[in-house]
Structure 1
Amino acid sequence: MGSQANPCIVFDGNARQAMEFYQEVFGGDLEVGTVADFGSPDSADGDKVMHSRLDTAAGYTLMAWDFPEDRPGHPAHRPGNNVAVFLGGDDDELREYFEKLSVGGEVTLPLEKQVWGDQAGSLVDRFGISWMFNVTSERSETLRRESPYAGS
């Protein structure tokens, strides 16, 4: 598969509504998963979007999520700092990119295994740019294919 870079927009609780609007504008296939869907059903943020992705016929990919209130180290949500570059795929180079971009910056989520089976992490580089990483595991790729969000 390799890897790819996509914009990932951070919202303050209205990611689902925004992504549904973008789907109306651009068309395409939208998948939305909440915090509860990804393994934290008892969380106060259970209905917030943890991951959404819109793939359009024109070839655009937009991603989005809702900012969690208690994210230590991550800059507070405010319009203007709500876009991150998302790097995802199965390339081992992604781990190297994470390490290099973190030099002089701040790791806001260490690159480590998450509840969905992938390694994920985030950081703000020395220039203030937010980066999100997801290194796909074989297990999570199987789950993705079997997910009720696949192709929705």
Structure 2
Amino acid sequence: MTIGLTPYLQFSGTARHALEFYHSVFGGDLEMMTYAQGMGTEDESKDLIMHGSLFIERGVHLMAADAPPGMPSVLGTVSLSNSAPDDAEHTTLEKWWEKLSEGAEINEPMAKSPWGDTFGMLTDRFGVPWMVNASR
């Protein structure tokens, strides 16, 4: 049985900008629905993202939304890793790292790790922590 897991990020009013940034990093197909479109709301949340979906090649699916006003947003760490040595995937992960690094706080520079892979950690400009591990 195959189970697909999808990271779902929740923001406080910056989901649209974050999703547009991730689209510029990863490419893929981006879809967004506001609270006005999805729920017909006309209050201060009408332009916030109720549901955002970024389908990225290689089977990655990233979702995000804005928490409604008054509700806290919760951000977790997103981890990208290839499980089998593959030069093309390694190169893709390194390119994604470079783009995610723009405006980010680098917590651990992308470098050869003690376990032999290339590894790095950063917190992007939207406050989302990322870990990237590229096997060779």
TM-score (norm 2): 0.50
Q: Which has the higher helix share?
A: 2
Higher Cα Rg, which structure: 2
